[in-house]
Amino acid sequence: MSARILIQVSYIVVAMLFILGLRSMASPVTARRGIVWAGVGMVIATLVTFITPEMKNFVLMIAAIVIGGSIAWYLGKVVKMTDMPQMVAVYNGMGGGAAAAIAALEFARGDVHGTMMTVLAVLGALIGSVAFSGSCVAFAKLQGLMNRVWRLPAQNAVNFVMALIAVVLGGMIIYAGSADSFGDPMKFKLMLIAFFIVSLVLGVILTSPIGGADMPVVISLLNAFTGLAVGFEGYVLGNPALIIAGIVVGASGTLLTQLMAKAMNRPITNIIFTPITGEAISSGEGITGSLKEVSALDAAAMMRYAQKVIIIPGYGMAVAGAQHKVWEMTKLLEEEGVEVKFAIHPVAGRMPGHMNVLLAEAGVPYDKIFDLEEINEEFPQADVALVIGANDVVNPSARTDKSSPIYGMPILNADHAQNVIVIKRGRGVGYSGIENALFYGENTRMLYGSAQQAVAQVIANVKSMQG
Ligand code: NAP
C-alpha cells in the first residue's frame, strides 16, 4: 500500500473513531469508552502526520507533541472539577487559534489557490480568530482574572461595524487571491494583518459584555465556531480527518449550545446581543419572610422519617467535594426505607453534566438520577427536597419575577415539596448574583455549613437514630 493510500485510510479510521467516541457520550455508561475511542483516534491522526510526505520538520513536530502533551497531561491531572469550564475554554481557544494560524501560514506561504480554497481559508481564519480571542476572554472571566463586564456604548453597533470591517477585509483577500496575483506583496501582507487584528478584536468585543449565567452557553458556541474553523482549514490542507473532526465538533457544539440556551431560556441572539449585565441584577426586593435555621439533628430526623427525599445538588456540592458523603447518606436513608432520588438541572454546577459526573464518580447508580423534565412533577409528593449547594437552579423568581435576569429559566420545583432543607455556608448568592425567595419560604429550613461537613453531621445523626 502506498503511503498516500495508507494516510487516507488512516484518516477515515480516525474520523470513524471520533464519531464513535462522540456517539458513546450519549450515555454516562459508555462515556469513558467514548473518551478512549476519541483518544485513540487522536493518537493515530498524530502518528499519520509522520508518514505524510510533505512533513519534514520531525524535530519540531516531536518537540511540539512532547511540550503540548506534557502540559495537557499535567493540567488534566491537577485541574479541579470546578475549574473544568476554564480548561474547556483554553482548549477551545487553542483549537480556534490553531485553525487561524494554519490559515495565516498558508496565506503567508502562498499555498492558498482557487476561489473555493481562499473563501474557506478566510472563513476559517475569521471564525478561528474570533473563537481564540473570545475563549481567552471566557477563560479570564471564569478564572476570576476579569471580573468586570465591559459594555461599550452602542455595543451592538460597534459589533456590527467590526464584523463588517472583517468581512470587507476578508472579501478583499478573496478578491486579491494571493500575494502574487495581487501584484503588491507588501499591501497583501498588510491586508492580512489588518484582517487578523480586526477578527481578534471582534472576538474580544463580542465576549466581553457577556457575563454571569450566560458564559457556559458562550463557551459552547465558541466550541462550535472552533469546529467550523478547523473543518474549513482541513479543506485547505486537504486533510479529511480535520474536515470530519471539525464538522463533528461544529455540529455537536451547535446542538449543545441550543440545548443549554433552551435550559436557561435565553435565545442565543439574546445572549450575544443583549447580555445580562451587572445593572440588570435584581436585589431580591419583594422577597418576604425570614431565613429559618435547622440543626443537623432535626434535618436528619426530617429525612429519616420521610417516605420520599429528592436531593438537588449544585455548584456548592462540587466545591465542597461532598458527593461521596451525599451517596453515603443516601444509602443510609434507603436502609431506613426512605425513597431517595436525585434531581439534576441541565446547568447545575459550572459545566454541562457537572453533577452527573460527580455523582457517577461517587458511585450513585444512574437509575437514581433524574433530569428536570423527568422529576419536576414529583416534588409535591416529596416529604423533603434537600438542596445541597444549589441556588439559581431552584430560584422560583425564574418563574415569577420578570425583572430577574434568570426569568424564564426552567427550574427544579423544590419549593413544591412538603419541606425544603437547604445546605449552604451562609447568605452567598448563586452564579447569577441574585437573591433566592426559596430560602425565605415558609416550608424552608437552612442547614448552614460547608456541604461535606453538613452532610457528615446529618449522617452521624441518622446513625444515632438507628436501631
Ligand atoms: P449557584 O447558583 O452558583 O449557587 C451555588 C451555591 O452554593 C451558592 O449560593 C453558595 O452559597 C453555595 N456554596 C458554595 N460553596 C459551598 C460549599 N462549600 N458548601 C455548601 N454550599 C456552598 O449553583 P447552581 O444552583 O448549581 O447553579 C449553577 C449556576 O451556574 C447557574 O446560574 C448556571 O447558569 C451557571 N453556570 C452553569 C454552567 C454549566 O454549564 N452548568 C457553567 C457556568 C455557569 P454560600 O456561599 O452561602 O455557601
pLDDT at 308: 98
Closest residue by Cα to residue 450 from 326, 314, 317: 317
Q: Whose CA is nearest to atom 39 of ligand 1?
A: 351
CB 206 within 8 A of CB 138: no
pLDDT at 113: 84
User: What's the grid cell of residue 409?
Assistant: 429559566
CA of 358 to the centre of ligand 1 (A): 14
H or E stretch covering 332: helix 323-335
CB 204 within 8 A of CB 132: no
pLDDT at residue 192 above 50?
yes
pLDDT at 288: 79
Closest residue by Cα to residue 358 from 423, 313, 422, 309: 313
Backbone angles phi, psi at 447, to 5 degrees: -110, 100
Burial of 164 per CB tally in 10 Å (0-12, 13-18, 19+): exposed
CA of 11 to the centre of ligand 1 (A): 42
- Any idea of the CA torsion for 439, 444, 450, 452, to the nearest 10 degrees? -140
What does each C-alpha distance from 238 to 44, 156, 175, 190, 268 come to in angstroms?
A: 17, 37, 22, 27, 33
pLDDT at 241: 82
Of 264, 391, 422, best ligand 1 pocket probe by most atoms within 8 Å of the beta carbon: 391
pLDDT at residue 284 above 70?
no
Query: Which stretch, 94-103, 350-359, 393-402, 413-422, has highest mean pLDDT?
Result: 413-422
CB 63 within 8 A of CB 92: no
| Ligand 1 atom, smallest distance to 213 CA | 34
The strands making up 384-388's β-sheet, listed across from edge to edge, are 369-371, 339-344, 308-313, 384-388, 419-424, 444-448
Of 220, 315, 372, 386, best ligand 1 pocket probe by most atoms within 8 Å of the beta carbon: 315
pLDDT at 274: 66
Q: For the beta carbon of residue 285, count every other beta carbon within 10 angstroms.
A: 8
∠ CA 248-250-256, rounded to 5°: 100
How far is 448 from 24, CA to CA, in rounded Å?
Answer: 40
User: What's the grid cell of residue 154?
Assistant: 452602542
Among 41-45, 307-311, 385-389, the minimum mean pLDDT is found in 41-45
For residue range 430-451, what is the model confidence (pLDDT) as tens digits?
A: 887 889 999 999 999 999 999 9
Closest residue by Cα to residue 314 from 260, 389, 398, 376: 389
How far is 350 from 82, CA to CA, in rounded Å?
Answer: 7
Q: Whose CA is nearest to atom 8 of ligand 1?
A: 430
Of 425, 436, 448, 453, best ligand 1 pocket probe by most atoms within 8 Å of the beta carbon: 425
How far is 170 from 152, CA to CA, in rounded Å?
Answer: 25
How far is 214 from 269, CA to CA, in rounded Å?
Answer: 12
Q: Is 419 helix (H, G, I), strand (E, B) or coil?
A: strand
Q: Catalytic site residues?
A: 392
CA of 345 to the centre of ligand 1 (A): 12
Q: Is 293 helix (H, G, I), strand (E, B) or coil?
A: strand
First to last CA, the chain: 73
pLDDT at 382: 98
CA of 85 to the centre of ligand 1 (A): 14
pLDDT at 280: 44
CA of 360 to the centre of ligand 1 (A): 19
CB 96 within 8 A of CB 222: yes
Place of cell 502533551: 69
- For ligand 1, which residues put their CB under 6 angstroms from it? 85, 213, 215-216, 264, 314-316, 319-320, 347-352, 354, 389-393, 423-432, 450-451
Between 467 and 177, name the one with better pLDDT: 177
pLDDT at 279: 46
Q: Whose CA is nearest to atom 14 of ligand 1?
A: 316
Q: Whose CA is nearest to atom 40 of ligand 1?
A: 351
Closest residue by Cα to residue 155 from 202, 112, 122: 202
Give the pLDDT band (50/70/90) at residue 85: confident
For residue range 220-278, what is the model confidence (pLDDT) as tens digits?
A: 899 999 999 999 999 888 888 889 889 989 998 999 888 888 877 777 887 777 665 54
Which of 50-54's residues contact partners 24+ apart within 8 Å by CB, and which partners? 51/3, 51/6, 51/7, 52/3, 52/7, 53/3, 53/4
- Any idea of the CA torsion for 115, 119, 124, 126, to the nearest 10 degrees? 140
Q: List alpha helices for 143-283, DSSP H.
A: 155-176, 179-182, 185-207, 215-237, 240-263, 268-273
Burial of 231 per CB tally in 10 Å (0-12, 13-18, 19+): buried
CA of 350 to the centre of ligand 1 (A): 8
For residue range 89-139, what is the model confidence (pLDDT) as tens digits?
A: 899 999 999 999 999 998 888 888 888 999 999 999 999 999 999 999 999
pTM, rounded to two decimals: 0.77
